[in-house]
Structure 1
Amino acid sequence: MKFIFPVIFFLYALSGYAQNVTGKVVDAGTGDLMSGTIVLLIDKSDTTKVNSAYVEEDGVFQFERIKAGTYIFKTLLVGYKITTFEVGIGSENKDLGTIKIAEDLQMQDIVIAEKITRVEQNGDTTNINANAYVTNPDATAEDLVTKMPGITVQNGEVKVNGETVKKVTVDGEEFFGNDALLVLRSLPAEIVGKVQIFDRQTDQAQFTGFDDGNSQKSINIVTKPEKNNGQFGKVYAGYGTNDRYNAGLNLNSFKGKQRISVIGIANNINVQNFSAQDLTSMGASSNRAGPPGGGGSGGGPQGGGGGNSANNFLVGQQSGISTTNSIGLNYSDVWSPKLKVTASYFFNNSTNVNNSIINRQYFLNDTASTIYREDNTSKTQNYNHRISGRLEYMLDSSNSFIYIPSISFQKRNSYQNLLGVNRYITDSLLSTTANNNENRSDNYSISNNLMWRHKFAKKGRTFSANLGSTINVNEVNTTLYSDNFYTDNLVSTRLIDQQGINNTHSYSYRTNIMYTEPISKTGTLQFNYSPTYTKNDANKRVDNYNTSTGEYDSTAIYVSNQLDNYTLTQKGGIGYRYAKGKTNFMVGVDGQNVKLSSTQLFPSTSEIEKQFNNILPSAMLKIKFSDSSNIRLFYRSSTSTPGVNQLQNVIDNSNTLLLSTGNQNLKQEYTNSLFMHYGITSSKKATSSMLFLGINQTNNYIASSSFIATNDTVIENGVTINKGSQLRRPVNLDGYWNVNSFYTYGFPVSKIKSNINLNTGVSYIRTPGTINLITNISNAYALSGGLGISSNISKQVDFNVTYNASYNIVENSIRPQLNNNYFYHLATAKVNIMPYKGLVLSTEVNERLYSGLSTAFNQQFFLWNASIGYKLLKDQSLEVRVSVFDLLNQNRSIARTVTESYVQDTYTTVLTRYFMFTVTYNLKNFKAS
């Protein structure tokens, strides 16, 4: 049943071809195609009834579903005479043939010689004119925006000048929720008229007009008037060698404010669609203390997409190879002048298979430094349903409501076979483990948010209240079978055979109340109060296999625990905003009280109560020097309360060589953040540059404390850590710093009809940790740079050439001989050419280099994808294509992770060479607005 709606939608779109009126418009003198001409059909019996259409780039126009009768045909184009004649239309489709329009000689003296303005700065919004950038006929909005200055797509994230874009809207309205990349991949480039980049304020801040600096980088796609009414999209299917397949659809219906979209995929080439919320726990999670700037991490693209790009719908770099079946629906409309509605539904079913090799080197202050190697084979099956919505209701001119519900259900089964080996740095064997794990989980999440906003008669005086709740339930059944060897001669062995549950329930209720009061023409006060109550329950019970009874009936005390955690947060404060002319200034301070209560119910009973009091200042300064340059400075302070899993004092033995546990004595983190943005744009020169600087400093940073046992060691509760194993737990340490700077400059080069984007950045991360009770400071530096050249030649020639490199320096205080410098670069060239009629040639080459990693991980390889296609039918809407992925059969996936206690290199499974034959149908059925 779930496929019926897309099929009906597609058939409905095709049904528009009945009783159509078509034709072509050319220049009477030169024969050139006159795209952009407006053509009209005026009902002769009632001249108030006017049908309009737009002449496309191929010179063709089309009127749809025209009733039989007599009409007056007209052409309208500046600089050309009006052509008009009478048309009789019956019950059949009618072709008006080629219509020639002549220049208006009276207008020859009028010369319009103005360069298309590419970039404009309007206050805090950067406007980029899409008409100044040329793409292939079937390009997506993603292909278009990545030609623009400062916009990139990296590892499934859309970024502007290095900042992650959190939301992409279409004509100011919600479209596919918060999945920015999905929006860009769902829209064709040809409907985009303008791209607006801005910092999106919260709903409360937009209403009150009090800019508190809490904004998200956002993009708004402004559609062309002649392209925002009709149906468009594509359907594709492909099959290849090694039984590889890929099929999908992307169908959209735009009618005024109503937007309906259907997307779907089915493939086994690692195209993992939709957002990360649909892929919970899939692939390796990133470490907060990873390499600055992302240097040294990455790998080749994991698979090809449908239609015209090898990476359509790819979201992020996921480990291993996935088979995915997904479908998504999005609906948005204005039901009345008072009510706006947006809703979306996603279903994702994926099976991920991954083989990985990990090489990890630990920092120790003696000759017992160790090297850990892990060979891991895993399989994960994931089923996810996600429903979200947004309703905006304007009760009257003074009161409005916003309601945002969200619900998701997930079922996940994972299986893991792991072989881990610990060796001394001298290469003598220390310990080994062979683990088999199975986890079966069911979870759901329900979130509701309701906001009431009220305006008083006095301008600037407002009141708003925001009520929210979140419920998260995760229930997991676990099994573990592990053979372990701990001595050099492999005499000492230990067998673990366990089953258990690991359930966590979380409930959160929050309120945010704000009142603004203008105290002058330039100044406004804001008062806020935000109480939050959170309850977390964690229950982990593990039973050992009893050989005498043949049952799992003996509780493993050291890995079992039940903890209830309660947090009550009271936060309130005052802020002052000054706005005059080109200056906008805000300063504020909040007082916060957090009461944390933890009750342990098993294996023993105990209670811990903590209270944290903090002063949280904030400030913001915006100065607009001119229409083309501005600077923004933000300072924020914040706290982070440890989660229930960090507080739960229970050992996780899913890898018996790498044990972990929580810490009930953790304190809150306190972070100071400073950000600076300085941007300059030149409309005349079509250049854009931006400098970004971010500094984060954290007190009571929740770091990692590692104990690596060089001998069998008994720790608290009588638990023995065997020689060659390690135990990690979170602890509070001061001294965490994260400094990141980024500069980008974009400009056109008319001689080669291309746009060039340059970027460079320097970053530094200082991460404290302890190893065997000795404090280690990991300092990670990175210097990065990049160059991008994108063509702006014609629709028949499109190319993108990019080069990005990162040089990374890793230093640690307790073992300087393990300091490491490593280098990573990625060079990419993408070329799409249409040399003759419907012939389409495409190729993409990636060259990757890793240097300075572990010996086995230093690699240089090429990933070469290529395809040849041909467009069929009169409107070239049908395309057949033969493509090859990884032509040289060299694809790799390598990543480096740096923490305060080790440096790790990871090698994971990727797709290798396959050929595929794909058929794509592109639907373009636009009506003039």
Structure 2
Amino acid sequence: MRGILLVVALIFAAVFQAFAQSEFKGTVLDKDDGEPVFGAYVFLKDKDGETLKSSVTDFDGSFSLGRPAQKEFYLEISYVGYQTLRKDLTSDSSGNLGEIQLINDGQLMEAFEFEAPVMAGEVKRDTVAFNASAYKTRPEADADELVRKMPGVIIQDGTIQVQGENVEEILVDGRPFFGDNPAAALKNLPAEVIEKIEFLDRIGDEAQLTGFDDGETVKTINIITKKGRRAGRFGKFYAGYGTGQNYMAGGNMNFFNEAQRFTILGLSNNINQQNFSSDEMAGAMANNNNRRGGNDMEVGQLPGITRTNAIGLNFSDEYQEGKLKVSGSYLFNHRDNVLNRNSNREYVLPNDSLQLYREDRNNRQEIESHRFNMRIDYDINEKHGLIIRPRASFDRANSINELVATNLVDNQTPISGSTNTTTSQRENFNFGNSLTYRFRFNKRGRTFSTNIYTGSFNNQNQSDLVAVNQNFINNNLDSLIQFSENTARGFNYNVNFSYTEPLGEKSQLRFNYRVRNNISSTAQQVLRQEPETSFIRLDSILSNNFENTYQTQSAGLGYRFNNEKLRVFANVRYQRADIDSDRTFPNFENTQRDFGNVLPRMVINYSFSDISNLRFDYNTNTNPPAIRQLQDVLDNSNPLQISNGNPNLNQEYSHRIFTRFRRINPETNRSFMVFFFGNLIQDFIGNETFIASEDTFIEGDVLLRQGGQFNRPVNLDNFWTTRTYVSYGFPLSFMKSNLNINSNFRINNRPGIINEQRNDNINTTLGQGFVLSSNISERVDFNISTNANYNMVRSSLQESLNNNFFEQRNRFDLFWNFAGGFFFSNNVNHLMYAGLGEDFDQNIWLWNMDFGFRFPPSRKAEIKLTVFDLLNQNVSINRNVTDVFVEDVRTQVLQQFVMLTFTYNLRRFGGVNMDL
């Protein structure tokens, strides 16, 4: 790999001739020990204090800054725990600033030692930095336990939120750690190696290379490690066995040698821990159990009970004196899953009538998943820069799904039913690669860049369906035996060209052209066995060959203004989109659509002070229909719920507004944040539902029993959603704890069509919560949280229908090291549901308890006894609200068990064995 990268570098170097650009270079060191200071902020400012240039020091303390046009300015370097340095410079000053020493701020460090609740930190525009030493965690705590104590942070069900926004990326010392799987990254890094935590809005790859901030950001946590912990070996290994033959085993091992880092993870259990992102028992806890993986380096969380075996690898290193940076991750996951689920669904019909749907599902499946990604950053020279990001995934699954479904007029009167079994095998392969290149001209601020993305997928699925369907009104029975084979293939590319031109020291123009093309094809072949003759024939109604091309071209002009307090980005582009779809079997039909849209964008960031700022973001975009939505072929895998595509769908046009005000004072540990999000979609792709009042044939051949549903996607207007979130955090000095109070208000309108009449389901949610986390000592650690939501559902077809419900989640965590190496911990979850109906209203207490001992003298080994679900009340309940129905779902979960676990923590840094 290293040889390939060197060849690539030589090719680029030969094609593009490098011309050195005048700049300032230097190295920042600790005055006391001479060690490099990584992550220090470096600024060049004019006499009024306005930032001209900025940078952050690298691992070796080095930095480089372009030379500004002003004649007089000064250098400023700041870092938590050090005195801020200032040095006057002129345009004639030497570019080699040499070694610059920072003086340790003794008073500040003393404050950390004796007044832990009072912490120091910094706010630099969109970056908030907190010093880890100001937060007390239990011994051997992981990074997630440290991060969740910081202002405005909520970690729940594998999702990490910072001031109401989901974290999408974790960096360790500025470099990716396990791709875009934040929860896995935090769970497998010990808190003791962390010096500082940064929360930032990270700009995209192209903006990083060109310096042109286009407003596209990713909420990111950057973990800065301690200088003495960047070289060594550390990890954790554990194994446990319990009643009911429950078991778990796993661990992680990290090999750090400054820039070179390697991490290996292992996991094996049958208690629902499916990713490297949960506590040992968190995967078994009651929750909605329907969260899907939102990134390439995480598998979707399966509901039910799962046995998992998994391995993860992460690697990063630097070459050519830091010019070439390489990082990559690989995850393997094998799961055996059993799902038992029952659901009650209430359809909204015209004329104040209702229909019920009940479903009992028993599903068994085996899934094998592979995830790989890589990032290569190559700063070839001052003019040329390159970022390459390949990624791939492969999934293989075998499943058997048994389903019993019934349509009812009321709780006692069935209309129609189906009992069916589906056996299926599928394989999915996806590959994508992004290449971003930047060229800097001699004139500062003038750049040319391009981003080229290519991707492909190949999905195959085979299934066998055996079903018995019944009409309870006339007692008619029929059977269905069919064999299906589905193939979906696609290739897409996205090529973007950008040119930036400076208009002065504070502003730039950007000219942009982009072309995208998605080319895909699907083939579905369905064979049906005649019940009387056992003759197998091709069903041309359910079979289909479909080819689709969706191409867009857009050109835009953007403007950026940037000074110390105000940043503005405005952009407008015109987009032309063309859809060309061909159905080639059972007969030929061509559909062509074209769209022209003006897409404006505006991003404003204003800093009122060093600790408070405002962000406003208005964005528009289009979203094409998925190939499955366009494919005009029937799906009768559930004979009571038949669906079809619609080749005449338009693309969606979306308006989004995001506004956030944030005030964070790290010195006092107080934070206040409020944000508003709104989304309006024109030509929203919703559902049209037909509920049969009698046995009906769809497409003249497929029988839909009385009470059954036929669904197809259609374009509808007036889809909108809004959300407001307010958070306030502050310390409680009298009890050495931090309190965070949050409120949220959400309302959304989802349109649909039911039996040719429009229905708007408006769902309103009012929520209130708080989190109290201790900061007492390493011997006593607790967290108390509650979150209550009241939900109101209103239907325009039936305004009198009342589907209001209330849910509340309370949690209490306690760790107590009460005598020597003995410790005791509790995890109590209380879940309350009201308004879901007699069968689903619950008041549940899930209580997990640990008692253990850490072996002296190092206390790196521990043995503990865990009782899961002490009160034996664990259940999983969820409510889903759509445009045509309200559904309550109950899913089987793990029940009470006892487990004995042994854990060993390895710590060896800088040649010193910390286990002794």
TM-score range, shorter chain: 0.7 to 0.9
Would the aligned equivalents of 2:640 and 2:704 in 1 still touch at CA under 8 Å? no
Is 1:540 the equivalent of 2:524? Answer: yes
* CA shift in 2, pair 1:376/1:564, >3 Å: same
Would the aligned equivalents of 2:352 and 2:797 in 1 still touch at CA under 8 Å? no
Alpha-carbon distance in 1 for matches of 2:709, 2:532: 31
Tell me which residue corresponds to 1:689. 672
* 2:495 partner letter: T
Report the CA distance between 1:474 and its aligned residue.
0.5
* 2:312 partner letter: G
Alpha-carbon distance in 1 for matches of 2:685, 2:732: 49
Structure number with greater CO (CA < 8 Å, separation at least 6) is 1
Would the aligned equivalents of 2:352 and 2:798 in 1 still touch at CA under 8 Å? no
Tell me which residue corresponds to 1:706. 689
Please state whether the residue corresponding to 1:667 is helix, strand or coil: coil
Please state whether the residue corresponding to 2:633 is helix, strand or coil: coil
Segments of 5+ residues of structure 2 without an aligned counterpart are 1-30, 36-80, 82-105, 290-296
Is 1:562 the equivalent of 2:545? Answer: yes
Would the aligned equivalents of 1:368 and 1:424 in 2 still touch at CA under 8 Å? no
Would the aligned equivalents of 1:368 and 1:710 in 2 still touch at CA under 8 Å? no
Tell me which residue corresponds to 1:341. 326
Is 1:660 the equivalent of 2:647? Answer: no
Tell me which residue corresponds to 1:435. 420
Is 1:223 the equivalent of 2:210? Answer: no
Report the CA distance between 1:550 and its aligned residue.
4.3
* 1:538 partner letter: T
1:485-519 deviations in Å (ceiling 9; x for gaps): 02424x21121100110111111011111110011
Tell me which residue corresponds to 1:178. 180
- Of 579, 583, 591, 1:600 maps to 583
Would the aligned equivalents of 2:209 and 2:385 in 1 still touch at CA under 8 Å? no
- Of 355, 359, 377, 1:374 maps to 359
Tell me which residue corresponds to 1:140. 142
Report the CA distance between 1:316 and its aligned residue.
7.6
Alpha-carbon distance in 1 for matches of 2:486, 2:299: 29
* CA shift in 2, pair 1:364/1:109, >3 Å: closer
Would the aligned equivalents of 1:239 and 1:917 in 2 still touch at CA under 8 Å? yes
Alpha-carbon distance in 2 for matches of 1:554, 1:301: 42
Alpha-carbon distance in 1 for matches of 2:786, 2:431: 43
Would the aligned equivalents of 1:368 and 1:425 in 2 still touch at CA under 8 Å? no
Q: Normalization by structure 1: what TM-score?
A: 0.83
Report the CA distance between 1:39 and its aligned residue.
13
- Of 240, 243, 261, 2:263 maps to 261
Tell me which residue corresponds to 1:10. none
Tell me which residue corresponds to 2:393. 408
* CA shift in 2, pair 1:562/1:510, >3 Å: same
Tell me which residue corresponds to 1:507. 491
* 2:396 partner letter: K
- Of 866, 869, 883, 2:866 maps to 883
- Of 232, 240, 243, 2:242 maps to 240
Alpha-carbon distance in 2 for matches of 1:186, 1:743: 31
* CA shift in 2, pair 1:523/1:839, >3 Å: same
1:682-730 deviations in Å (ceiling 9; x for gaps): 2442201111100000000001111000112344455443211110111
Segments of 5+ residues of structure 1 without an aligned counterpart are 1-37, 41-47, 51-77, 79-107, 277-282, 284-297, 303-312
Tell me which residue corresponds to 2:27. none
Would the aligned equivalents of 1:300 and 1:846 in 2 still touch at CA under 8 Å? no
Alpha-carbon distance in 1 for matches of 2:861, 2:420: 51
Please state whether the residue corresponding to 2:715 is helix, strand or coil: strand
Tell me which residue corresponds to 1:44. none
Tell me which residue corresponds to 1:678. 661
* CA shift in 2, pair 1:921/1:426, >3 Å: closer
Alpha-carbon distance in 1 for matches of 2:630, 2:603: 35
* CA shift in 2, pair 1:548/1:764, >3 Å: closer
- Of 493, 498, 503, 1:519 maps to 503
Would the aligned equivalents of 2:310 and 2:332 in 1 still touch at CA under 8 Å? yes
Report the CA distance between 1:155 and its aligned residue.
2.1
Tell me which residue corresponds to 2:879. 896
- Of 849, 858, 872, 2:841 maps to 858
Report the CA distance between 1:112 and its aligned residue.
5.8
Alpha-carbon distance in 2 for matches of 1:118, 1:841: 32
Alpha-carbon distance in 1 for matches of 2:620, 2:486: 34
Tell me which residue corresponds to 1:72. none
What is the aligned length?
A: 798
Report the CA distance between 1:394 and its aligned residue.
2.1
Q: Normalization by structure 2: what TM-score?
A: 0.84
Is 1:472 the equivalent of 2:474? Answer: no
Matches within 5 A, 1:787-826: 787-826=770-809
Is 1:840 the equivalent of 2:827? Answer: no
* CA shift in 2, pair 1:323/1:113, >3 Å: closer
- Of 299, 302, 306, 2:286 maps to 299
* CA shift in 2, pair 1:135/1:569, >3 Å: same
Tell me which residue corresponds to 2:92. none
* CA shift in 2, pair 1:572/1:39, >3 Å: closer
Please state whether the residue corresponding to 1:136 is helix, strand or coil: coil
- Of 850, 860, 865, 1:867 maps to 850
Report the CA distance between 1:300 and its aligned residue.
4.3
Alpha-carbon distance in 1 for matches of 2:772, 2:413: 51
Report the CA distance between 1:228 and its aligned residue.
2.2
* 2:259 partner letter: K
Please state whether the residue corresponding to 1:834 is helix, strand or coil: strand
Is 1:774 the equivalent of 2:757? Answer: yes
Alpha-carbon distance in 2 for matches of 1:368, 1:690: 45
Report the CA distance between 1:817 and its aligned residue.
3.0
Tell me which residue corresponds to 2:745. 762
Please state whether the residue corresponding to 1:159 is helix, strand or coil: strand
Alpha-carbon distance in 2 for matches of 1:568, 1:793: 59
Tell me which residue corresponds to 1:150. 152
* CA shift in 2, pair 1:654/1:914, >3 Å: same
Report the CA distance between 1:152 and its aligned residue.
1.1
- Judge which range, 174-183 or 676-685, deviates more: 676-685
Is 1:573 the equivalent of 2:556? Answer: yes
* 1:262 partner letter: I
Report the CA distance between 1:318 and its aligned residue.
3.6
Report the CA distance between 1:534 and its aligned residue.
1.1
Alpha-carbon distance in 2 for matches of 1:166, 1:642: 25
* CA shift in 2, pair 1:167/1:860, >3 Å: same
* CA shift in 2, pair 1:488/1:889, >3 Å: same
* CA shift in 2, pair 1:191/1:698, >3 Å: same
* CA shift in 2, pair 1:724/1:109, >3 Å: closer
Would the aligned equivalents of 1:527 and 1:574 in 2 still touch at CA under 8 Å? yes
* CA shift in 2, pair 1:829/1:734, >3 Å: same
Please state whether the residue corresponding to 1:855 is helix, strand or coil: coil
Is 1:388 the equivalent of 2:390? Answer: no
Report the CA distance between 1:620 and its aligned residue.
0.8
Would the aligned equivalents of 2:187 and 2:276 in 1 still touch at CA under 8 Å? no
Tell me which residue corresponds to 2:207. 205
1:79-102 deviations in Å (ceiling 9; x for gaps): xxxxxxxxxxxxxxxxxxxxxxxx
Please state whether the residue corresponding to 1:745 is helix, strand or coil: strand
Would the aligned equivalents of 2:441 and 2:447 in 1 still touch at CA under 8 Å? yes
Alpha-carbon distance in 1 for matches of 2:530, 2:469: 18
Report the CA distance between 1:301 and its aligned residue.
9.2
Tell me which residue corresponds to 2:431. 446
1:811-839 deviations in Å (ceiling 9; x for gaps): 00101232311000011000011011111
Please state whether the residue corresponding to 2:176 is helix, strand or coil: coil
Question: What is the aligned-residue RMSD (CA, Å)?
Answer: 2.5
1:248-283 deviations in Å (ceiling 9; x for gaps): 01111111111110001011111111489xxxxxx9
Please state whether the residue corresponding to 1:131 is helix, strand or coil: helix
* CA shift in 2, pair 1:39/1:614, >3 Å: closer
Alpha-carbon distance in 2 for matches of 1:678, 1:242: 51
The list of structure 1 runs, each at least 4 consecutive aligned residues, that deviate by more than 6 angstroms after superposition, is 108-111, 313-316
Alpha-carbon distance in 2 for matches of 1:878, 1:426: 56
Please state whether the residue corresponding to 1:646 is helix, strand or coil: helix
* CA shift in 2, pair 1:201/1:793, >3 Å: same
Tell me which residue corresponds to 2:129. 127
Tell me which residue corresponds to 2:77. none
Would the aligned equivalents of 2:570 and 2:601 in 1 still touch at CA under 8 Å? yes
Report the CA distance between 1:113 and its aligned residue.
5.7
Tell me which residue corresponds to 1:75. none
